[in-house]
Amino acid sequence: MDQKKSNIGLIGLAVMGENLALNMESKGWEVSVYNRTVPGIEEGVVDRFINGRGKGLHIQGYTAIPEFVSSLSLPRKIMMMVRAGEAVDELMEQLFPYLDAGDILIDGGNSNCEDTNRRVALAESKGFRFVGAGVSGGEEGALNGASIMPGGSADAWPEIKPILQSIAAKAPDGTPCCEWIGPAGSGHFVKMIHNGIEYGDMQLIAEAYWSMKQLLGLDNDEMSAVFARWNKGKLRSYLIEITSSILSHKDSNGKYLIDEILDAAGQKGTGKWAVINAMELNMPLGLIASAVFERSLSGQKELREKAHQYFPGDQQASHDNKEEYQEHLFAALYASKLVSYAQGFAVLQQASTQFSWKLDLGQIAKLWRAGCIIRSVFLNDIASAYAAEPASMNLLLTPYFREEIKELLKGWKIVVSDAAREELPVPAFSSALNYFYSLTSQDLPANLVQAQRDYFGAHTFERRDAARGKFFHENWTGHGGDTQSGTYNV
Ligand code: 6PG
């Protein structure tokens, strides 16, 4: 008798793939798994899983693609959990010959949305369906409930929805943190912005930590306690929670592990892509950019050590009222976080308009309430802001956040100015504050930039006393010509 067909296939048994397979099985789905066999590198992976964590479960293991594919019920649903990049393309090419029309490939990796745009078109041109699904939550989320952001071939959604929603985290109101995002690479685009925000949150928390340590002279346990306290209020979030735990964690040698870790941060690329995409869309994403660049600069450890010899700095922990100052730090962290989310959501809104994706920003905020790395209570406030004003042009200008910023501004300014005076780097706090000042400035010195462009390159300018869209050129020196450069903007 034929073996029972599986409901879903999963390719790639690294930690995320393994955990997703176990999560699916625990929700009652029959799962087939496949992993390539590479002599000396990936040997016996399937056997180890089937006879280890997968033992006795409704999981069938395969080491050959044809058998794996034919073990799946139609239309086949195959989730790929392999490294982003060429590996996905190679795998698709290996799968195509064995698929039937209507079969669905799901890429659950951190793929670049441009690649997903292309892959959706390619799969559809062959009669298949393709879904780029951002999956956030790390190892733990994959096993117990992740936040999942699927986009691509829309008619695949009803087929995969029951499986993906069953393995998703549930928000406090019970809603699964998995909803259809939109066409083409929109799911991976949303995941990329999630990751950019993750970079921003982490940098902001790091700056709060550093300010407490360097300006207030708090020790690790004291700082752990401050983060634990913040985690009970408006900043309640996974990243604040783990920061509190990290700060009090001791190494096996009895020392605080945080003090033993080298200050050189790595990155796998999604934060950088977020900034590149924001630039392509002409949208400011300065806070996340500062977080990405700060990781890069942190990696230049030797250069920093050299530079420090020339400019040793002059920092003094000087605040008597440490309790009060913690409130200023809270304000700087919370206000800067508001700026970061306002910038990130504005990029989503612009992408939605430009690519006709019809993204539901309120729903995206809801998807991030549980399961993912940036999960926080604050996302409820963003969801509510969008529910009240779906077409809001900037989150900071919605009534709730306007009032929040008014409360926070004083402490935020104190922290940024004190840090500048004490020669303490807080690039994300200050980037956020400067964005806020620029955003709320009716007048900026961009008139001078326009004049300079026109002076040296006849790039033209608009005038305050003429209608927008009408461009002028000045013969600044008396010996320049009247020929103008084009007025196009990228
Ligand atoms: C998630 C994370 C995850 C990401 C890692 C590493 O949502 O679960 O965003 O997808 O890959 O956090 O990112 P970096 O190496 O770039 O810090």
Distance, in Å, from the CA atom of 295 to the CA atom of 352, rounded to the nearest integer, reads: 29
Q: Which residue has the higher pLDDT, 318 or 387?
A: 387
Residue 221, both tokens = 């346990």
Dist. CA 59–CA 68, nearest whole Å: 12
Exposure class string for 5-34: b at 16+ Cβ within 10 A, else e = ebbbbbbbbeebbbbbbbbbbeeebbbbbb
Tell me the per-residue pLDDT of 242-291, one tens digit each, with 9 for 90 and over.
Answer: 999 999 999 999 999 999 999 999 999 999 999 999 999 999 999 999 99
Question: Among 52-56, 113-117, 310-314, which is the least confidently predicted range?
Answer: 310-314
Tens of pLDDT, residue by residue over 404-426, are 999 999 999 999 999 999 999 99
Q: How many Å apart are CA 141 and CA 139, to the nearest integer?
A: 6
Band of pLDDT at residue 55, cut at 50, 70 and 90: very high
Mean pLDDT of the chain: 95
191 in catalytic set: yes
Q: Which residue minimizes the CA distance to atom 6 of ligand 1?
A: 268
Q: What is the pLDDT of residue 489?
A: 77
Closest CA to ligand 1's atom 10: 136
What distance in angstroms lies between residue 361's CA and the mean position of ligand 1's atoms? 21
Structure confidence at residue 1 (pLDDT): 47
| CA 340/CA 270 separation, integer angstroms | 16
Q: Name the residue of 136, 268, 364 to mutate for ligand 1: max ligand atoms within 8 A of Cβ.
A: 268
Distance 195 CA to ligand 1 centre (A): 6
Catalytic residue among 30, 198, 207, 294: 198
Q: Which pLDDT band, with edges at 50, 70 and 90, does 81 fall under?
A: very high
The rounded Å distance from CA 147 to ligand 1 centre is 13
Choose which residue among 270, 295, 375 to substitute to test ligand 1 binding: the one with the highest number of ligand atoms within 8 A of its C-beta.
Answer: 270
Whether the per-residue pLDDT at 2 is higher than 70: the answer is: no
Q: Mean pLDDT over residues 147-163, rounded? A: 98
Q: What is the pLDDT of residue 485?
A: 77
Distance CA 474, CA 454 (A): 7
Give pLDDT, residue 111: 97
pLDDT at 98: 98
Give the residue, out of 190, 205, 373, 374, with the most ligand 1 atoms within 8 A of its beta carbon, to mutate for a pocket test. Answer: 373
Query: Which of 82, 107, 110, 178 for a ligand 1 pocket mutation test, highest count of atoms within 8 Å of Cβ?
Result: 110
Residue nearest (by alpha carbon) to ligand 1 atom 17: 267
Q: Which of 77, 191, 213, 272 is catalytic?
A: 191
Whether 218 has a pLDDT exceeding 70, the answer reads yes
Alpha carbon distances (Å) from 355 to 18, 131, 150, 185, 275: 34, 17, 16, 10, 17
Residue type, 442: Q
What is the tens place of the pLDDT at every residue in 429-478?
Answer: 999 999 999 999 999 999 999 999 999 999 999 999 999 999 999 999 98
User: What is the CA(445)–ligand 1 centre distance, in A?
Assistant: 38
How far does residue 198's CA lie from ligand 1's centre (Å)?
A: 8
Residue 313: per-residue pLDDT: 80
Distance between CA atoms of residues 55 and 34, nearest Å? 15
Distance (Å) from CA 393 to ligand 1 centroid = 28
191 CA from centroid of ligand 1 (Å): 10
29/166 Cα distance (integer angstroms)? 10
Residue 105, SS3? strand
Kindly tell me if the per-residue pLDDT of 403 is higher than 90: yes
- Residue-wise pLDDT for 362-399, tens only, equals 999 999 999 999 999 999 999 999 998 877 679 999 99
* pTM of the entire predicted model: 0.96
Residue ID of nearest Cα to ligand 1 atom 13: 268
Q: Which residue ranges have their beta carbon within 6 Å of ligand 1?
A: 110, 136-138, 195, 198, 266-268, 270-271, 372-373
